[in-house]
Structure 1
Amino acid sequence: MKIVLSGFYGLGNTGDEAILKAIVDNLRSELDNPDITVFSLSPEKTSQEHKVKSVYRGWRHENKQKVKALREADLLISGGGGLLQDTYPTKFLFGPLPYYLLIVFLAKLCGAKVMFFSQGIGPVTSTWGKILMKVFANMANFVTVRDQYSKDYLHSLGVKRPETVVTADIVFAFQGTEDTSAYDSLGLDGSERIVAVAPRPWFEQEEEYIEKLAWTLDRLIEQRSVTPVFVPMEPPYDTKVSKRIIEKMEHGDKTKLLGDHFTPNQFYQFIGKADVTIALRLHALIFSALSNVPHIGLSYDRKVESFLKRSGMWKHSFTLEEFNREELLESALYSLDNSVEVKQMMEPNVEALRQEAKRNVYLLKEKFGGLK
């Protein structure tokens, strides 16, 4: 089967690169020698890392190659991740939402089937964005979404023609390999209690949450002698936020900051060595769940809340707009002091999510496996 992948690939976001690795690895595990082409902003790097064909994703050049790839393809996989949203400005045909939907339209013109794969939907708030969704998203042949909220939201936008099935984020089917590069880079001696911290920039809430998080980390250092390690999932943006948090801390000299050159697998392997994770980044939380590491989310988006409810950690987590530092400290202390109990609670939830993630590919085989 010839497959084209369209997503937020080749832009250096660890979560999206983890999605790409998980999709490619699981397609190869379940399909007979799939021929995979990825639309990427860094096609040479993507091709080298994943042993796939790759075409430049933007409209500036390689448009003939994109059309050729779609004409030859049996299936376009759009996703995974939160592609279909207009949080960032959408102006006519410019912006993430028009881009991904135009790729879908182009695929249909070229004769390929289309699957929205393990997607999180929304928010789509602009009138133009809603029109685009109703027109172009209904062209898909089949849809899987990573939570019930996304399915309901998709239907509320008038996207009802393709069958839609709730599964889980494909990163729950991530196939990691042992690699201690990230951990070794920090010069730790193995005795530390690590709190992995994965922040991100976020509009008007940024300054307030930075101060609260800095205070919380200081108290954890004082009360439990932890070593906070910042994990920049999307450099350089997360690196800059991490440094601002460290500057606000009284004990910033007792923190560590991972370099921004590590692969998704290396970040995943590092988070697996943490005692607790505190994160805004969804895929840092998913990496934690996969490694059975207690995790506390600061939810800036419905996708984070939806995941935390499924992992069982929402009662220990908070919305970014409403949390206070004392409650965050209490939650972190509880997770550190009762890790065995927390892990036992999480384990069956995470295993269920792992099986649901794999179901994305099983459903693809069921719906499109007859394509040659």
Structure 2
Amino acid sequence: MKIVLSGFYGLGNTGDEAILEAIIDNLRLDLDNPDITVLSYSPSETSAEHNVNSIYRGWRRENKEKIQALRKADLLISGGGGLLQDAYPTRFLFGPLPYYLLVVLLAKLCGTKVMFFSQGVGPVTSTWGKILMRLLANRADFITVRDQYSKELLHKLKVNRPKSVVTADIVFGYHKKEDHTCINSLPLKGDERLVAVSVRSRFGYTEHYYKLAEALDELIETDHITPVFVPMEGHHDVEASNEVLNRMKHRDACYLLGGNFTPNQYLNFFSKCEMTIGLRLHSLIFSALEGIPHIGISYDRKVENLLKRTEMWEYSFTLEGIDVDKLKKNARYILSNRKELSAITKKNAMIMRDEALDNIDLLKKHFTK
């Protein structure tokens, strides 16, 4: 089976690279020698990392190669991840939402079937975005989404041909390989209470940097934690992490991992932590996979949706609603009740793992003979 993958690949985002790896690993596990081509911003790196064909994803070059690949393909997989959204400015043919839908249109013009795969949809608020969704997303042959909110939003956007099926983020189907490069990069003594911290910027909003710094400083003083900042999107998250560190009294008690580790290396690191405090969705998914209790800071509906499913929402906050005193209180509760909360997290992660693998089963059902 010849498959083309379209997503936010080759741009250094750990979550999206984990999605890509999880899709490829599971396709190879369940299909007979699939021929996979990935549309990537860094095609040579993607080819070397995953042993796949890869084509430059942008429109500036290799468009002939895109058309050739799609004409030969049996299926375009669009996803997973939050591709269909206009949180970033969307204009005529510009922005993430038009890009991914134009790839879908190109596939259909080439006679190729399309599956929206484990997608997180929204927000879609612009008039142009809504028009594009109604015109082009309805051309998909089958749709799976990673949460109920995405399914409901598709319905509101009049994307109902075909109906969507709710599964889970495909990263819950990730195949972990032992690799301790991350933790071995830190000069640890071995008795630290490691707390993973995932920070990102958010459209000029800075209040969360101050609040996280204040909470972490006190937890270092009173609970003797060792915060380790995990940059899930390269230099962008390194910069955001430093925004917090620069506001801390006890920054010397913290560590900042490098921004160029692989998803698998980061996942192995999370397994060594007692707790996670995170903004990045996939820092929380990695934590759930390893049974690590977590406090999420929700900057988007997708984060809140996940936290409700892992049963960690009651300990978590919206980005604008962080209460420093409550954050410290919740962190202490989690640290004191870690065993119980870890069991809850693992149970929910296993449910979502089964649902994530439904994406592959549904692909086989609808697109293989």
- Whether contact under 8 Å (2:290, 2:346) holds in the other structure is no
8 Å contact from structure 2 (residues 84, 120) kept in 1: yes
CA deviation vs aligned residue, 1:325-372 (integer Å, no higher than 9, x gap): 1111111111111001111222221110010001100110011111xx
Match of 1:90 in 2: 90
* Equivalence map 1:196-211=2 (5 Å): 196-205=196-205, 207-211=206-210
Number of equivalent positions: 369
Q: TM-score, normalised by structure 2?
A: 0.99
Counterpart of 2:346, as a letter, is: E
Question: SS of 2:38's equivalent?
Answer: strand
The residue identity in structure 2 corresponding to 1:161 is R
Post-superposition CA distance 1:100-157 (Å, at most 9, x none): 0000000000011000000000001100000000000000000000000000001100
Alignment correspondent of 1:258: 257
Q: Tell me the alpha carbon deviations over residues 207-255 of structure 1, each in whole angstroms, 9 at most, x when there is no partner.
A: 1110000001011101111100000000111100111111100101100
Q: CA deviation at 1:91?
A: 1.2
Paired position in structure 1 for 2:170 = 170
Q: Which amino acid is 2:209 matched to? A: I
Cα contact 1:299–1:319 (8 A) shared by 2: yes
Q: Cα deviation per residue 1:153-198 (whole Å; 9 max; x = unaligned)?
A: 0110010011310000000001110000010001112211001000
SS at match of 2:196: strand
Matches within 5 A, 1:83-162: 83-162=83-162
Matched with 1:337 is: 336
The answer for the alignment partner of 1:186 in structure 2 is: 186
Aligned residues of 2:86 and 2:129 also touching (Cα < 8 A): yes
What pairs up with 1:1-372 in 2 under 5 angstroms? 1-205=1-205, 207-370=206-369
Amino acid at match of 1:193: R
SS of residue paired to 1:189: coil
In structure 2, C-alpha distance between the alignment counterparts of 1:67 and 1:212, rounded to whole Å: 49
> What does the per-residue CA deviation read over 1:53-73, in whole Å, with 9 as the maximum and x for residues that have no partner?
000000000000000000000
Contact 1:141 1:163 in 2 (8 A): no
Deviation of 1:312 after TM superposition, in Å, equals: 0.9
- The residue type paired with residue 217 of structure 1 is L
Find the aligned partners of 2:193 and 2:279 in 1 and give their Cα distance. Answer: 20
> In the aligned structure 2, how far is the partner of 1:269 from the partner of 1:162?
38
Partners in 1 of 2:260 and 2:87 — Cα distance?
27
Structure 2 residues not aligned, in runs of 5+: none
Mapped to 2, the partners of 1:354 and 1:328 lie a distance apart of: 29
What TM-score, normalized by structure 1, do the two folds share? 0.98
What is the CA–CA distance in structure 1 between the aligned matches of 2:325 and 2:273, rounded to whole Å?
Answer: 22
Aligned residues of 1:86 and 1:122 also touching (Cα < 8 A): yes
SS of residue paired to 2:115: strand
Work out the CA distance in 1 between the residues paired with 2:348 and 2:286.
14
Is the CA contact 1:4–1:77 (under 8 Å) kept in the aligned structure 2? yes
Contact 1:120 1:146 in 2 (8 A): yes
Identity %: 62
Which whole-Å CA distance do the structure 2 matches of 1:156 and 1:208 have between them? 33
How much does 1:287 deviate?
0.2
Q: Distance in 1 between matches of 2:219 and 2:180?
A: 25
Distance 2:16 2:201 in 1: 17
Consecutive unaligned residues of structure 1, counting only runs of 5 or more, are none
1:221 aligned partner, one-letter code:
I
Distance 2:314 2:278 in 1: 15
**Aligned-pair distance for 1:204?**
4.2
